[in-house]
């Protein structure tokens, strides 16, 4: 005897893509046909399993009495019903495809709507769902329309015959888990719900069905060829080109091409008997030629990002303004390409990419990563039973998005292993659209793909690939290379971007990469600031691995984005070949420099004394010129001197206003000279203290206690930093993760043994040994204090002893100042943080901040906020000058407190501001998923000497 009534919900665990939906077709935002948005407030009944409730709710007249309300588009788990779950690649349910757990949160959604009184009574109507996770069954006025899977793909149903003027009952049953979940194992939050638009579309008689805009560009003749295939007869008009042709007919006319740099779109119309659909046509030709991806005859260099859809409150339900914000931020930060990791985005995002200009790799909604845990056994992409579902996903992506000039590659999916299903997808896509390339990183031999793609390869390996020394299949060796993911932007970092960019620019075969990833998937949380994996009590989760973006959850740019912006700037400004010249190189692929105005300024000790325009010819892409700088301003003899050259937009563009800085460079003229302090004061031992110039010290320990009226606390050598995500690395890295080595070695618990306090004629010398318990290795550390009566100078000498097997996180001093300390000024790198391999965007100048603003609010607290190349800093009534330049940071908690915090809200201001003045910092790297810092950025343990002078400022 069987108790479970499975037939009604058998579709949930069926490998098929669904039934009842219309064939996929091109998506467009609007036409002259009527439409009715069904977004808004819906009623929701959440059940713990897929089959606990009957479906009588779909019948007209059903009383939804005590049902909750949810906003559509939205995810119910972000609206107070159940909780989100974050896993990277582990399935949060037993792997037994296509079966899913009995505990299968199921949201019955109900919406009653009237047709507008003027809703046409002729023709048909279609109901469109742009995205529902993960499986839905739909009824209208009690009639079962069908069910579907494929969360981030559209599904349409014919409904005209069921509509009534008023009181239409739309019922949608959404299951969190389904067979489709096995295909949607992307590294992200599991967020069930109707998370994209629901729209009723009127389809007048003779309206447009599917259509395919083919718009190519011949870079030799300068002509574009347009042909629009349409399932329904119609005409295509493009007024600006005087084009008026029938569907299916091709026409060749002189045009301006579309590129991401020059996104020229021509407005047109596809008019059938019953409908006029606006077209935005971009002419461009994407081909593989000479082993390179060429657009309009030229190779392109992708300066890309991987973009997940994310909003800290709405999850993957993004409104148009948020999408636009992403595009504008990308454009303003010199990004020229997006991989839509790992599913087709809301289609309106691609309209924006067409309009503002971004190259797009459109990726299918497919990832089966969790099967890696069983050596890919039973992987759906290698099981013919699943192939219809895979082909359905490929078709829904390609048909939906095929009319976007921005889309230059189709990607089969991400991290799905290999298999016949993928091959079938690639074959179908190649057959349907020969005008674009096919991408899939998992196809190591490039059997099915047109580009060799990898993720997180080291600099050295990428260089070998550039030199074509990487071997591989014959086919692969003929193909261009991209890094579809690199530079894991988790927490502080990524480091090493500039080094990758140099390599990309050195070898033709390397056509750039896509930083992982665009945005931190932190969820706004009343108590935690932003929540990450585990914060909702998930039994299985991957912590803050979802917070690895170039922008914070609220889209504030992180230092990583500013670094990337500088590294990929489309104009290089550097020292010229002869004295007094600056070399300007146009690194665009298509645009000349006519959109930019250049200006120079001249700084003495970081202060601009004069500025002017620098005429730069409209260099073609790839060209450079050495330009003579003006005579240095008169009367600027002393001090450190430099030129700063900036390239600014000459006019307002769609993505930034006139004057927006696109690129900059600095050319040193003279170097920083630290002030000399003559050791003319003698240390005096009093009853309670030692006095030396303006300073006092504790007599027994030689510890600095004050400089003038400024009380100073706990000054000593510091080698520890709060581990960054990149320091910690990942479990699957074979390389050394310094974060854990530092902890094992004991760098977070160094002991300071006092050996002697010596009062000399002109110096107070304090000898110590700094070492962790249980280790023989240590640092003999000597603090030598001198003064000229006004200034106090500290020279620190560090001599390593014993067997040091690890580099140091940092090497410098730290001390505490009064908690009221707030304002900071400095001359050095800024305005933002920098580390040895993330310092490209650090601009030498005079900067100001508060202690709080010096902090970078990484979602999981970690080392942050260092300013590089600091000559002097003023803080808490002290002016500190470095010899040589130093790394400066200050915070209201200790590095140890920072290290133990899990969320920003764990950090509370203490009664001290802790200042770090560092002689050295270890690099950042990208080891939270990729390679660690390059060896030249390791802070090796070796003898070191560095000085600071202190002067009371008030
Ligand atoms: C790679 C995934 O493709 C991406 O989705 C994300 O998880 C990223 O890593 C890390 O944040 S896969 C990695 C195991 C190489």
Known active-site residue 485:
yes
- How far apart are alpha carbons 839 and 830 in whole angstroms? 9
Known active-site residue 539:
no
Is residue 773 located within the same domain as residue 828? yes
Is residue 575 located within the same domain as residue 459? no
Q: How far is the CA of 413 from the centre of ligand 1 (A)?
A: 12
Locate 735 and state its tokens.
């390389």
In 3-state terms, what secondary structure has residue 584? Answer: strand
CATH of the domain at 811: 2.70.98.10
Is residue 559 located within the same domain as residue 580? no
Q: How far is the CA of 185 from the centre of ligand 1 (A)?
A: 11
pLDDT for the residue 954: 73
Q: How far is the CA of 534 from the centre of ligand 1 (A)?
A: 19
Q: Which atom of ligand 1 is nearest to the CA of 548?
A: 11
In a domain, 746, yes or no: yes
Of the residues 635, 668, 701, the one at which a domain ends:
668
In a domain, 573, yes or no: yes
Is residue 588 located within the same domain as residue 501? no
Domain that holds residue 303: 288-564
pLDDT for the residue 226: 98
pLDDT for the residue 814: 98
In a domain, 280, yes or no: no
In a domain, 819, yes or no: yes
In a domain, 481, yes or no: yes
CATH of the domain at 397: 3.20.20.80
pLDDT for the residue 1: 44
Of the residues 139, 173, 202, the one at which a domain ends:
202
Ligand 1 pocket: which of 87, 189, 309, 485 to mutate (most atoms <8 Å of CB)?
A: 485
Ligand 1 pocket: which of 86, 184, 187 to mutate (most atoms <8 Å of CB)?
A: 187
Is residue 528 located within the same domain as residue 397? yes
pLDDT for the residue 735: 67
Is residue 317 located within the same domain as residue 362? yes
Is residue 580 located within the same domain as residue 559? no
In a domain, 1, yes or no: no
pLDDT for the residue 52: 79
pLDDT along the chain (954 residues), means of 10: 63 97 97 98 97 87 94 98 97 98 97 96 93 98 98 97 96 98 98 98 97 98 98 98 98 98 98 98 98 98 98 98 98 98 98 98 98 97 98 98 98 98 98 98 97 98 97 96 98 98 98 98 97 97 97 98 98 93 98 98 96 97 97 84 97 98 96 92 96 97 98 97 95 77 94 98 98 96 98 98 95 97 98 98 98 98 98 98 98 96 97 98 97 96 98 91
Is residue 432 located within the same domain as residue 338? yes
In 3-state terms, what secondary structure has residue 354? Answer: helix
Is residue 297 located within the same domain as residue 436? yes
- How far apart are alpha carbons 529 and 904 in whole angstroms? 6
In 3-state terms, what secondary structure has residue 351? Answer: helix
Is residue 452 located within the same domain as residue 501? yes
Tell whether omega for the bond before 625 is within 30 degrees of 0, i.e. cis. no
pLDDT for the residue 620: 97
Is residue 454 located within the same domain as residue 470? yes
Q: How far is the CA of 488 from the centre of ligand 1 (A)?
A: 9
pLDDT for the residue 115: 97
Q: Which atom of ligand 1 is nearest to the CA of 732?
A: 14
Task: Please give all residues whose beta carbon lies within 6 A of any atom in ligand 1, as ranges.
Answer: 88, 187, 342, 414-415, 455-456, 485, 488, 516, 545, 548, 929
Q: Catalytic residue, from 415, 441, 833, 863: name it.
A: 415
Q: Give the other-Cβ count within 10 Å of 809's Cβ.
A: 25
How do strand 510-515 and strand 481-486 relate by DSSP bridges? parallel
- How far apart are alpha carbons 918 and 928 in whole angstroms? 24
Q: How far is the CA of 187 from the centre of ligand 1 (A)?
A: 7
In a domain, 675, yes or no: no
Give the residue among 331, 831, 298, 299 at the shortest CA–CA distance from 568. 331
Q: Catalytic residue, from 485, 833, 874, 881: name it.
A: 485
In a domain, 676, yes or no: no
Is residue 41 located within the same domain as residue 106? yes
CATH of the domain at 579: 2.60.40.10
Residue pair 707/792 in contact by the 8 Å Cβ criterion:
yes
Please report, in angstroms and rounded to a whole number, the separation of the first and last CA atoms in the chain. 90
Q: Whose CA is nearest to atom 5 of ligand 1?
A: 187
Residue pair 873/825 in contact by the 8 Å Cβ criterion:
yes
Structural domains counted in the chain: 5
Of the residues 534, 564, 594, the one at which a domain ends:
564
């Amino acid at each position: 005897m069987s108790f479970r009534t499975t037939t009604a919900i058998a579709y949930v665990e069926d490998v098929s893509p669904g039934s009842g939906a219309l064939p996929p077709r091109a998506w467009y935002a609007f036409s002259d046909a009527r439409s009715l948005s069904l977004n808004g407030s819906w009623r929701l009944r959440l059940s713990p399993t897929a089959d606990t409730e009957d479906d009588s709710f779909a019948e007209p007249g059903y009383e939804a009495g005590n049902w909750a309300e949810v906003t559509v588009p939205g995810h119910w788990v972000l609206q107070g019903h159940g909780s989100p779950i974050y896993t990277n690649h582990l399935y949060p349910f037993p792997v037994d495809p296509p079966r899913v757990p009995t505990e299968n949160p199921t949201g019955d959604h109900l919406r009653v709507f009237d047709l507008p009184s003027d809703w046409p009574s002729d023709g048909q109507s279609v109901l469109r769902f742009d995205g529902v996770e993960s499986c839905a069954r739909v009824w209208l006025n009690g009639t079962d329309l069908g069910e579907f899977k494929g969360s981030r793909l559209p599904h349409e149903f014919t409904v005209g015959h069921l509509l009534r003027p008023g009181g239409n009952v739309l019922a949608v049953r959404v299951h969190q888990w389904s067979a489709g979940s096995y295909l949607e194992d992307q590294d992200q939050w599991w967020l069930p719900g109707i998370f994209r638009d629901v729209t009723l579309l009127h389809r007048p008689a003779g309206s447009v069905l599917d259509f395919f805009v083919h718009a190519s560009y011949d870079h030799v003749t300068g002509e574009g060829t347009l042909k629009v295939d349409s399932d329904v007869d119609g005409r295509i008009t493009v007024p600006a080109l005087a084009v008026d042709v029938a569907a299916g007919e091709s026409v060749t006319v002189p045009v301006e091409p579309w590129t991401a740099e020059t996104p020229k779109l021509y407005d047109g119309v596809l008019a059938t008997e019953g409908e006029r659909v606006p077209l935005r046509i971009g002419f461009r030709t994407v081909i593989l030629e000479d082993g390179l991806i060429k657009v309009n005859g030229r190779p392109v260099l992708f300066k890309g990002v991987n973009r997940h859809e994310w909003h800290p409150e709405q999850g993957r339900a993004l409104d148009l303004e948020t999408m636009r914000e992403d595009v504008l931020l990308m454009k303003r930060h010199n990004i020229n390409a997006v991989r839509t990791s790992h599913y087709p985005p809301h289609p309106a995002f691609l309209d924006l990419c067409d309009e503002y200009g971004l190259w797009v790799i459109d990726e299918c909604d497919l990832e089966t990563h969790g099967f890696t845990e069983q050596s890919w056994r039973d992987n759906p992409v290698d099981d013919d039973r699943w192939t219809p579902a895979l082909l359905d996903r490929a078709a829904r992506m390609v048909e939906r998005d095929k009319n976007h000039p921005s889309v230059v590659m189709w990607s089969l999916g991400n991290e799905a292993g290999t298999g016949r299903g993928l091959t079938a997808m690639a074959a179908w896509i190649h057959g349907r659209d020969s005008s674009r390339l096919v991408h899939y990183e998992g196809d190591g031999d490039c059997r099915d793909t047109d580009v060799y793609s990898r993720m997180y390869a080291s600099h050295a390996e990428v260089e070998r690939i550039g030199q074509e020394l990487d071997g591989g299949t014959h086919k692969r060796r003929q193909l261009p290379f991209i890094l579809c993911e690199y530079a894991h932007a988790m927490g502080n970092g990524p480091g090493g971007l500039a080094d990758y960019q140099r390599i990309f620019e050195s070898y033709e075969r390397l056509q750039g990469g896509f930083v992982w990833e665009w945005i931190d998937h932190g969820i706004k949380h009343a108590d935690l600031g932003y929540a990450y994996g585990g914060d909702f009590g998930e039994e299985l989760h991957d912590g803050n691995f979802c917070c690895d973006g170039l922008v914070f959850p609220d889209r504030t740019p992180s230092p990583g984005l500013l670094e990337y912006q500088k590294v990929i700037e489309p104009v290089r400004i550097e020292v010229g070949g002869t004295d007094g010249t600056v070399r300007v190189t146009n690194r665009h692929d298509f645009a000349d420099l006519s959109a930019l105005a250049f200006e120079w300024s001249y700084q003495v000790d970081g202060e601009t004394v004069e500025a002017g325009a620098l005429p730069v010819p409209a260099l073609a892409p790839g060209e450079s010129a050495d330009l003579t700088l003006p005579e240095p301003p008169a009367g600027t003899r002393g001090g450190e001197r430099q030129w700063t050259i900036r390239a600014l937009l000459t006019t307002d563009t769609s993505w930034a206003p006139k004057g927006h800085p696109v690129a900059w460079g600095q050319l040193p003229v003279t170097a920083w000279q630290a002030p000399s302090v003559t050791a003319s004061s003698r240390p005096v031992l009093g009853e309670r203290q030692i006095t030396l110039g303006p300073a006092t010290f504790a007599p027994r320990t030689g510890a600095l206690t004050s400089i003038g009226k400024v009380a100073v606390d706990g000054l000593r050598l510091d080698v520890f930093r709060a581990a960054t995500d990149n320091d910690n690395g990942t479990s699957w890295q074979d390389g050394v993760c310094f974060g854990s080595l530092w902890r094992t070695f004991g760098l977070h618990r160094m002991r300071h043994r006092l050996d002697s306090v010596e009062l000399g004629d002109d110096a107070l010398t304090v000898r110590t040994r700094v070492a962790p318990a249980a280790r023989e290795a240590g640092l003999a550390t000597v603090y030598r204090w001198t003064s000229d009566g006004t200034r106090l100078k500290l020279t620190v000498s560090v001599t390593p002893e014993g067997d040091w097997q690890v580099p140091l996180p940092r090497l410098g001093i730290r001390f505490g100042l009064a908690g009221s300390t707030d304002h900071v000024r400095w001359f050095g790198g800024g305005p933002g943080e920098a580390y040895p391999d993330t310092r490209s965007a650090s601009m030498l100048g005079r900067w100001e901040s508060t202690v709080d603003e010096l902090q970078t609010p990484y979602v999981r607290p970690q080392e942050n906020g260092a300013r590089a190349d600091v000559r002097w800093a003023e803080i808490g009534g002290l002016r500190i000058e470095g010899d040589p330049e130093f790394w400066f940071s200050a915070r209201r908690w200790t590095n140890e407190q920072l290290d133990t915090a899990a969320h920003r809200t764990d950090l509370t201001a203490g009664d001290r501001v802790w200042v770090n003045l560092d002689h050295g910092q270890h690099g950042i790297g990208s080891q939270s998923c990729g390679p660690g810092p390059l060896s030249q950025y390791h802070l090796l343990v070796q003898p070191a000497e560095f000085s600071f002078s202190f002067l009371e400022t008030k």
